[in-house]
Amino acid sequence: MPAKAIRTDSFNNRTTGFAAPPDGSHGLVPPSDAVHDGDTVNVRLNGNLGVRLLGIDTPEVSFQFPGGGFVSLDSPQWEELLSEPLADKWGEFPEPMPAAMAARVSTATGSGAAADHHYHAEQAGADFRRLIEGDMQVMQQDLDEFGYYMNFGFEVMDRYGRLLCMLNRNQPERTVPTPRPPSYNLRLLERGRAFPYFIWPNVNPWDRPENPEDAVIPPGGAKEMAQNDRELESARNAVRKARSQHLGLFDRMRPLLLEPFELRFLARRSFPSRFLIDLNSDSDVLLHPKNYPQVAATEDRLWIPRVYVPLFAAAGWKVQDAPA
């Protein structure tokens, strides 16, 4: 498989890319036509691109183990870590973990937690593959013909060089050959294969203001906003229904208790950095990242990156201090 066109180097904190002369109708385009002006040139990405589905978070098949490289979650190393995730032998956290947060982590981990995570990760990947393969059959297209439709939020790419979007099969006609299905993002939520992971301002690409400033939610208005946002409410309802039917992650016999973002911060020995808003509340408070257990239902969390917190504060939101 060709290398990725956009690559990250976490050690050196760099993101780099590789490109080639663009394609034209009669072959590769020379610089005389590719250069538009003194600061614009058309190129063709030289390699593959990863796509990160917006609004969802699925279990990790593998992740970087403390002090080492990426290790599969079915490894005995992860079983040992998630059996006692707060032990100092895995590395110290930058400061003491608040009691409520430690209680939440302890409830979600223990013997078998790593195996459960790996199991649900494998199931999510298999379901995603089946969805794509099913769409290829419906569209009666092979690999040379099949394509994806991408709809981006404010941020087109994340820090890992992956495109951030809602993804679906590329079907120009709404009802041909069959009614266009929901995005893969929503279909995975409907099947209980993913947790919701709403990160502002990339919430609804179909109803996006011109700039983030215009997208700031009025203080105390999050509940009303969420109820009136068709895409957001559809996603939240999909999660509630999957939970009530015990699908996927919510399987009554083998539920996944530890959320993917929790596994990641345990492995990194760091704390969540995004503030959050309770979408089921009329509160005007941005909750501190360490207080995320206060919003128990995953579909009620709207995460606010630190870089945007000043926008909310300027609009009148109260920024919560760190818990003791």
302: left (phi over 0), alpha (psi -120 to 50) or beta: beta
Question: 143 with 250, same domain?
Answer: yes
Provide the pLDDT confidence category of residue 91 given band limits of 50, 70 and 90: very high
Question: 103 with 244, same domain?
Answer: yes
Domain of residue 96, CATH code: 2.40.50.90
Query: What integer pLDDT is reported at residue 37 of this predicted model?
Result: 81
Q: Is the pLDDT of residue 40 over 90?
A: no
User: What is the CA 95 to chain-centroid distance, rounded?
Assistant: 26
Rounded CA gap, 71 and 114, in Å? Answer: 11
CB 188 within 8 A of CB 167: no
Provide the pLDDT confidence category of residue 68 given band limits of 50, 70 and 90: confident
Question: 186 with 199, same domain?
Answer: yes
Give the single-character DSSP code of 287. Answer: B
Rounded CA gap, 307 and 310, in Å? Answer: 7
Q: Which of 242, 263, 284 is the last residue of a domain?
A: 263
With respect to residue 159, please indicate whether it lies within any of the assigned structural domains.
yes
Question: 42 with 151, same domain?
Answer: no
Question: 18 with 121, same domain?
Answer: no
pLDDT tens digit string along 234-285?
Answer: 999 999 999 999 999 999 999 999 999 999 999 999 999 999 999 999 999 9
Structural domain range at position 219: 50-263
Structural domain count of the chain: 2
Question: 64 with 13, same domain?
Answer: no
Query: What integer pLDDT is reported at residue 261 of this predicted model?
Result: 98
Question: 89 with 79, same domain?
Answer: yes
Question: 150 with 78, same domain?
Answer: yes
Rounded CA gap, 251 and 99, in Å? Answer: 28
Provide the pLDDT confidence category of residue 3 given band limits of 50, 70 and 90: confident
CB 185 within 8 A of CB 166: yes
Rounded CA gap, 285 and 304, in Å? Answer: 12
